[in-house]
Structure 1
Amino acid sequence: MFKFFSNESEWDIFKSVIYSCEAIYTKSKKEQKLADKICNSIWNDNTDTRPDFITNDMMIEMFEVDDIVAKKKGRENPQRKADARALREVERLIQQFPEGTFADDLKIIAHGDTRYNPKSDNFIPDDSVSHHNYRAYLSNFQRICQKHLNSVEAYRKNYPNKKLGFLIVDDSTFYITRKQFQTNPISTKEAFLDYPFFDKNFMNLFITSKVDFVMWAFNNKYFYTSEFPHGEASPFPTIALISKDNYYTRYSKYFDVNSMVSLEE
């Protein structure tokens, strides 16, 4: 995982991705060469001015997406709200201990349960589809990605001679088609071709953009098999690098949004 602790900074998350280059997927030698350059360059934290991270000749803007059903154009995300509540509770409990009990650089993992209602102090049952689904995944991606695309001209004005990349930290679950879900087993290739960078619903945002490459870091995609029922040994890459030349490939197509189901259903 690239985003493990609740109190990690953007810089921490970025370094976690960059230092995981052995797991990167590329579609061509040109992309592999670019991946090697990205992973071996000296990066600087530029989050105060944007884009987020820069080298002498490259710049990367990072953002996170998930598949959580959110309200108010993403401003009300129940999972992030539950996580923040859990973090506050952990921090409150830590303060009850004598000073010096914990290290100053203590890292915290706090994952909230969206079913818990703090006002009534009980749990409200729900189903996985109402919590996360592919339509929410696509909607969240389009909204957040377009927001950053709208700033591309500003990034280029700040650094006109640098290559621009987007780094997507993806917290969504693994999706396959309903037909595949009902088929046992499905091939590794079939499942791999269900990755979002093969879905034109996602990638069409980049086709006419001035983004030179996209790095996609998958933080929560677990593929379950009879041998590894908890998804602990996934055969799939955790990072993909896609250059402008390969935003569409011969495997790209528009996925049927209504047919995609999460492996966590």
Structure 2
Amino acid sequence: MFESIYIKDNWKKWNDNSSESDPPPDFYSDEFEMMMEVMRVDDHSFKKKGNLINPTYAKESKVCREIENSGILDCLPNEAALLFNVDTKLPTDKDHNYKFYTNSFARIVKKHSEHIEMYRNNHKNYRLIFFIFDESSAYFEVPNKETMKINRNVGTTIQGKAHFYFLDSTLLENILKYDIDYVIWYAPFKLVNTNNGVFDLPKAVIYDVKHFNLKPIIYKDDQMMSTEL
């Protein structure tokens, strides 16, 4: 399954079906008898009075409008792509929040899972892949979150247990309970700096969902902090 996507010649055998006028899911391959639905999750979004709020996306949209209005884009070639790295000026716990993360993960995966029957009807007997683009930061579990908030200073080392997101029981339950064959979980921004250098977490994890046999880890919501302090 992985090689059908990762190897360039194999990827050419996939059909991009992601426009709004196309029947879901986003991609399918008759050659490999597979289909794939793509989604993105983050740790910024939260609901307020029934509305979904995302300060980072709002700031990105504001910056994008400013650039468009400036006329700078007219000087760039058509194939140019812009990547925005904005600063919301929010404190860490309101910018990267573990509860926002787990809620976003559950909400997004559930939303796409509601169409699984449609995916399978559109492509009979094809194996179904969920590709999750995880934009969240890395996290760690600390002994006392409130103490850490008060005592942290630039250059201070904070003791904590690394968050193995790919084994987090709260996140995994939102994958394992649905009729999915494979999950590709891509999380490129999970960077952990330690006093012994950078601790590398996997950038991508792949699950054969129906044969999953690893032991999940239970993390305590009220002790989780982003490493982007």
TM-score grouping bracket, smaller chain normalisation: 0.7 to 0.9
**Higher RCO (C-alpha 8 Å, min separation 6):** 1
- The alignment status of 1:43 with 2:43, answered yes or no, reads no
Match of 1:85 among 38, 42, 62: 62
- The alignment status of 1:262 with 2:226, answered yes or no, reads yes
Q: Percent identity?
A: 26
Compared CA separation, residues 178 and 114, structure 1 to 2 (3 A): same
Q: Which whole-Å CA distance do the structure 2 matches of 1:103 and 1:162 have between them?
A: 39
Q: What amino acid is aligned across from residue 87 of structure 1 in structure 2? A: C
Q: Which whole-Å CA distance do the structure 2 matches of 1:176 and 1:235 have between them?
A: 13
- The alignment status of 1:58 with 2:38, answered yes or no, reads no
Matches within 5 A, 1:114-133: 114-115=88-89, 126-133=90-97
The offset of 1:227, in angstroms, is: 5.9
Q: Which secondary structure state, in structure 1, belongs to the residue aligned with residue 82 of structure 2?
A: coil
Aligned length: 210
Q: Which whole-Å CA distance do the structure 1 matches of 2:16 and 2:170 have between them?
A: 31
- The alignment status of 1:158 with 2:119, answered yes or no, reads no
The offset of 1:102, in angstroms, is: 2.3
Q: Residue deviations 1:12-51, cap 9 Å, x none?
A: xxxxxxxxxxxxxxxxxxxxxx323442332221113221
Counterpart contact for 1:82–1:114, Cα < 8 Å: yes
Q: Which whole-Å CA distance do the structure 2 matches of 1:201 and 1:110 have between them?
A: 30
Q: Which secondary structure state, in structure 1, belongs to the residue aligned with residue 53 of structure 2?
A: coil
Q: Residue deviations 1:207-227, cap 9 Å, x none?
A: 231100110111311121346
Compared CA separation, residues 92 and 247, structure 1 to 2 (3 A): farther
Compared CA separation, residues 149 and 157, structure 1 to 2 (3 A): same
Counterpart contact for 1:170–1:217, Cα < 8 Å: yes
Q: What amino acid is aligned across from residue 129 of structure 2 in structure 1? A: G
Residue in structure 2 matched with residue 143 of structure 1 by the alignment: 107
- Listed as ranges, the gaps of 5+ residues in structure 1 are 1-33, 116-125
The offset of 1:186, in angstroms, is: 7.4
What RMSD in Å do the two structures reach over aligned CA positions? 2.7
The offset of 1:161, in angstroms, is: 1.5
Question: TM-score, with normalisation over the residues of structure 2?
Answer: 0.80
- Listed as ranges, the gaps of 5+ residues in structure 2 are 149-156
Question: TM-score, with normalisation over the residues of structure 1?
Answer: 0.70
Q: Which whole-Å CA distance do the structure 1 matches of 2:200 and 2:87 have between them?
A: 29
